[in-house]
Structure 1
């Protein structure tokens, strides 16, 4: 993931991989590669969500402190 990946792009790619696997259009030769990429995308999305949650909580705390 050397390029600047966004949450939306990662989620979209993850959906495409899941669909390919569900429809059994992934060859056995590529299956492990697809699953590995899916795991990377899941980890990326989880990290983004945690970072966003932390940032939003900090903003809410700042707003509460300014009251």
Structure 2
């Protein structure tokens, strides 16, 4: 996965892949490749969301202790 990938970019790409699959505009020849990329993007987004949740929780706890 690219090191400079942002959540927004990953989500946008994932949405585009989902649209292509839903509208059946993906050829059978590249379908497996698209599904694999979607899986990678989902994993990236989940990791990013978990990290953000942890960071926000930490900040809230620090604010409560002040």
TM over 0.5: yes
The answer for unaligned runs of 5 or more in structure 2 is none
Secondary structure, in 3 states, of the residue corresponding to 1:25?
coil
Aligned residues: 66
CA RMSD of aligned residues (A): 0.7
Aligned position for 1:36: 36
Question: After TM superposition, where is structure 1 displaced by more than 4 Å over at least 4 residues in a row?
Answer: none
How far apart are the structure 2 equivalents of 1:51 and 1:38?
A: 20
Aligned position for 2:56: 56
The answer for unaligned runs of 5 or more in structure 1 is none
Secondary structure, in 3 states, of the residue corresponding to 1:24?
coil
Normalized against structure 1, the TM-score is what? 0.96
How far apart are the structure 1 equivalents of 2:38 and 2:52?
A: 21
Normalized against structure 2, the TM-score is what? 0.97
